[in-house]
Every structure is written in structure tokens, then in C-alpha cells.
Amino acid sequence: MVLALGNEPIDVGELIEATAGPEDGGIAIFLGKVRQETNGRPVKRLEYEAYPSMALRTFQKIAQEARWRWGVERLSIVHRLGPLRVGEVAVSVVAAAPHRAGALEACRWAIDQIKTISPIWKKEIFEQGGEWIQCTHEGVLEAAGGF
């Protein structure tokens, strides 16, 4: 399994290979891609930034929790940083488990967690300028702080 941040395009096939083992019967994959518009406004590109050491720590926490909640022994998270064009993959989650239920649930939960607790930010660049996207902090980050 792989927990990483990087500037290079994500090779999803390679990530699946690196995650799933012979004991895994179910592999769930999530890809987060750059959409062409936000709130009706066309996007030129997104720019991602992270606090790398802390972001990797949150990926480790997510993988660890997936292990004891769903028995998912192998969960990979790769998040790209830097400028991304429309259609590029910004984040990939691969969850591998003996059976499909755990893999699917863990995969969904993991991407929700990444979007809530990981110190990663995206700036949307559109025709007239750029804007840092904000998602709500309330409640959920408190829970993450005690983990």
C-alpha cells in the first residue's frame, strides 16, 4: 500500500498493483478529478498545496482506522500537488479487503476523511482570477484533533 503526496500524474493501475494482495477479493477505487466548472464558473486549472508532513500523518491515521473498522488491511492514498488541468486526477484511494463490503465502505469513508482532516488546499483559477476554496471546519476537525 502507498500513502503519498506528489507532483507526478497518478498511475492508477500501478497503485492497484501496489495495494491489492492475493488475499483480497474486493478492491474499491475512488478517483477525484478536476471538474470543468465550479458553481457555473469555468475552471482554467486548480492548484493544490499541502502541509506535507501533517497530510501524510492524516493518511496514516485514515489507513489505520480503516484497518480496525472494516478489516481493510491495505488502503492506499495518493494526492497530487501543484497545478492540475481539467480532467486530471487529483486524488486516488484504493481499498483492498477480502470481501467487497469492507472495501467499498472504507473507500468511501477514506475520501470523506481526506476532504475533512487532511491539511491540503486547492485554489481555483478561473478567467478573472483565483480563489482558495474553503470547506467547513466545524465539528469534524475537533474529532480529528483527538485521534
Q: Which residues bind another protein (CB under 8 A)?
A: 32, 48-51, 53-55, 57, 79, 90-91, 111, 114-123, 132-137, 141-142, 144-145
Chain length of the chain? 147
Give the shortest CB-31-to-another protein separation in angstroms.
11
CB of 99 to another protein, least distance (A): 26
- To the nearest whole angstrom, how small is the minimum distance from the Cβ of residue 82 to another protein? 13
DSSP 23: T
Q: Which residues pair with 76 in a beta bridge?
A: 94
Q: How far is the CB of 53 from another protein (least distance, A)?
A: 6
**Nearer to another protein among residue 15 and residue 120 (C-beta):** 120
Measure the CA–CA gap between 84 and 107, rounded to whole angstroms: 23
Rg (CA), the chain: 16
Phi, psi of 143 (to 5 degrees): -65, -40
d(CA 92, CA 11) in angstroms, rounded, equals 9
Q: Which is nearer to another protein, 22 or 134 (CB)?
A: 134
